[in-house]
């Protein structure tokens, strides 16, 4: 049976002259995500990408569809049968192909899209003939145009005709890397993986940076963050993962700065190290999982002080979201269970008893001036390790 997968575009379809660029990025992303599923051909035409396995009978369609549903830039995905462009072929193939599905339902209707306008019969005629063939083959079925159990789709396109019984929703958004690349500050918590998902959805490829404070934080805590990155890759593609040794900087902050300013100063140090690491990849934006008012370091005043430590654009996709909304997405992208594992994070180790919720920038700058942090910042960036997570 000659089956294929059709990827229909979302927003890309609305792009003008540079639509081609977006399509090519999407095509490349699909090829990469499907790379180990066997030989296949990918091509684009009429706002659709066609995935044609070389050996459809041995192809794992379920796995491919699961992966397809996580690729940004796709509005809908269908598994379809390829047939010759003639009514005889369509009417002969549809009952056989759809039998497993139609034998278990009561009602259906046929919808036709005829993008090849040279096809002699118009859409209503194609739907009527195909419907007739299905009624002949399955006498128990009835047509219901308003609320059918199944919608049978016939698409007459350039290369062939396609039959399928509906689409699964795609992940939406823009193809990853069509908007460039950003550096995600990832902790082991719930928020930053969700932030990664949301920015990847808008077409950003991601590198990730994690600050680790051994011996206060353990190897297991680091492993947890790497697992989170692995869980993100079906959505984000490969992630370049940077790990920063942060202990010395944290100890210096603890020693030289007032306790109630600790968190916001630490956040500023993270931003500075991240800014140096971002420069290596010519990255202009950082992504964090901060949400307004969630904790003391995420008040407007604290965010102002944090932003002041970097020239890069700081993207905070969760800024207006409630924890319950964030958790819902964490479940959906399967990071929740990993995020709630109770390993310590470098932030929790040094949490002040009474963090300042309205820090003033000039106090912070004064506190930071009491010690030369610059060499430690540079050293942390230099000693950062990197690996790619697929």
Of 265, 253, 357, give the one whose Cα is nearest residue 306.
265
346 binds, among Mg ion, ligand ATP, none (CB under 5 to 8 A by kind): ligand ATP
Of 243, 280, 252, give the one whose Cα is nearest residue 350.
252
> Which residue, 294 or 357, is less far from ligand ATP as judged by CB?
294
CB of 364 to Mg ion, least distance (A): 20
> Which residue, 189 or 359, is less far from Mg ion as judged by CB?
189
CB atoms < 10 A from the CB of 6, how many?
Answer: 21
Among positions 167, 227, 294, 310, the unique one binding ligand ATP when judged by CB under 6 A: 294
> Which residue, 127 or 297, is less far from ligand ATP as judged by CB?
297
> Which residue, 185 or 277, is less far from ligand ATP as judged by CB?
185
Of 77, 75, 36, 80, give the one whose Cα is nearest residue 175.
75
Among positions 347, 367, 380, 381, the unique one binding ligand ATP when judged by CB under 6 A: 347
Torsion of CA 218, 220, 226, 231, to 10 degrees: -140
Among positions 101, 295, 319, 349, the unique one binding ligand ATP when judged by CB under 6 A: 295
Residue nearest to ligand ATP (CB): 189
Which H or E run contains 40? Answer: strand 40-45
Of 302, 323, 328, give the one whose Cα is nearest residue 314.
302
> Which residue, 155 or 290, is less far from ligand ATP as judged by CB?
290
From residue 281, alpha-carbon distances to 56, 89, 240, 278, 285 in Å are 40, 53, 10, 6, 11
CB of 141 to Mg ion, least distance (A): 55
336 forms part of the interface with ligand ATP (CB under 6 A): no
**Paired residues of 143 in beta bridges:** 108
239 forms part of the interface with ligand ATP (CB under 6 A): no
Site string for Mg ion, 169-188 (x = CB under 5 A): ------------------x-
> Which residue, 177 or 338, is less far from ligand ATP as judged by CB?
338
CB atoms < 10 A from the CB of 372, how many?
Answer: 11
275 forms part of the interface with Mg ion (CB under 5 A): no
Specify whether the CB–CB gap between 184 and 208 falls below 8 A. Answer: yes
380 forms part of the interface with ligand ATP (CB under 6 A): no
189 forms part of the interface with Mg ion (CB under 5 A): yes
From residue 389, alpha-carbon distances to 164, 217, 235 in Å are 36, 21, 13
Reduced to 3 states, what is the DSSP secondary structure of residue 194? helix
185 binds, among ligand ATP, Mg ion, none (CB under 5 to 8 A by kind): ligand ATP
Of 347, 383, 384, 345, give the one whose Cα is nearest residue 218.
345
Site string for ligand ATP, 166-205 (x = CB under 6 A): -------------------xxx-xxxx-------------
CB atoms < 10 A from the CB of 88, how many?
Answer: 11
> Which residue, 154 or 183, is less far from Mg ion as judged by CB?
183
CB of 367 to ligand ATP, least distance (A): 19
User: How many Å apart are CA 352 and CA 332, to the nearest integer?
Assistant: 33
338 forms part of the interface with ligand ATP (CB under 6 A): no
Specify whether the CB–CB gap between 127 and 110 falls below 8 A. Answer: yes
Instruction: Report residue 385: phi and psi, to 5°.
Output: -100, 160
355 forms part of the interface with Mg ion (CB under 5 A): no
> Which residue, 190 or 333, is less far from ligand ATP as judged by CB?
190
User: How many Å apart are CA 196 and CA 285, to the nearest integer?
Assistant: 13
297 forms part of the interface with ligand ATP (CB under 6 A): yes
211 forms part of the interface with ligand ATP (CB under 6 A): yes
User: Tokens at residue 168, please?
Assistant: 């699964």
> Which residue, 130 or 384, is less far from ligand ATP as judged by CB?
384
359 binds, among ligand ATP, Mg ion, none (CB under 5 to 8 A by kind): none
155 forms part of the interface with ligand ATP (CB under 6 A): no
User: How many Å apart are CA 202 and CA 297, to the nearest integer?
Assistant: 26
> Which residue, 206 or 257, is less far from ligand ATP as judged by CB?
206
Where on the chain is the footprint of Mg ion (CB under 5 A)? 187, 189
User: Footprint of ligand ATP on this chain (CB under 6 A)?
Assistant: 185-187, 189-192, 209-211, 270, 288-290, 294-295, 297, 345-347
């Amino acid at each position: 049976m000659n089956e294929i997968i059709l990827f229909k575009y979302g927003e890309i379809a609305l792009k003008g002259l540079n639509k081609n660029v977006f399509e090519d990025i999407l095509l490349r992303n699909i090829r990469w995500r499907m790379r180990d599923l066997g030989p296949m051909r990918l091509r684009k035409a009429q706002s659709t990408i066609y995935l044609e396995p070389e050996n459809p009978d041995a192809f794992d369609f379920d796995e491919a569809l699961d992966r397809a549903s996580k690729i940004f830039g796709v509005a809908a995905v269908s598994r379809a049968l390829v047939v010759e462009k003639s009514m005889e072929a369509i009417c002969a193939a549809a009952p056989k192909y759809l039998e497993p599905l139609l034998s278990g339902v009561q009602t259906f209707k046929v919808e036709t899209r005829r993008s090849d306008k040279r096809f002699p019969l118009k859409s209503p005629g194609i739907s009527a003939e195909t419907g007739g063939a299905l009624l002949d083959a399955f006498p128990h079925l009835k047509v219901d145009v308003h609320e059918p159990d199944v919608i049978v789709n016939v698409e007459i396109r350039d290369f062939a005709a396609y039959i399928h019984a509906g689409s699964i929703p795609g992940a939406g958004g823009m193809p990853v890397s069509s908007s460039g690349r950003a550096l995600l500050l990832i902790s082991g918590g719930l928020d930053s993986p969700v932030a990664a998902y949301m920015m990847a959805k808008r077409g950003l490829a991601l590198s990730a940076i994690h600050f680790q404070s051994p011996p206060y934080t353990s190897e297991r805590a680091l492993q947890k963050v790497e697992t989170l990155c692995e869980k993100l890759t079906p959505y984000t593609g490969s992630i370049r993962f940077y790990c920063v040794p942060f202990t010395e900087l944290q100890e210096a902050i603890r020693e030289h700065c007032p306790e109630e300013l600790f968190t916001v100063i630490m956040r500023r140090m993270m931003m500075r190290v991240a800014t140096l690491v971002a420069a290596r990849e010519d990255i202009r934006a950082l992504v964090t999982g901060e949400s307004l008012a969630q904790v003391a370091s995420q008040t407007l005043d604290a965010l102002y002080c944090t932003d002041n430590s970097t020239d890069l654009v700081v993207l905070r996709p969760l800024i207006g979201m409630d924890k319950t909304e964030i958790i819902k997405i964490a479940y959906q992208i399967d990071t929740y269970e990993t995020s709630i594992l109770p390993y310590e994070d470098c932030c929790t180790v040094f949490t002040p008893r009474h963090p300042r919720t309205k820090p003033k920038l000039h106090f912070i700058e004064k506190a930071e001036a009491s010690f030369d942090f610059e060499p430690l910042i540079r050293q942390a960036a230099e000693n950062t390790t990197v690996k790619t997570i697929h």
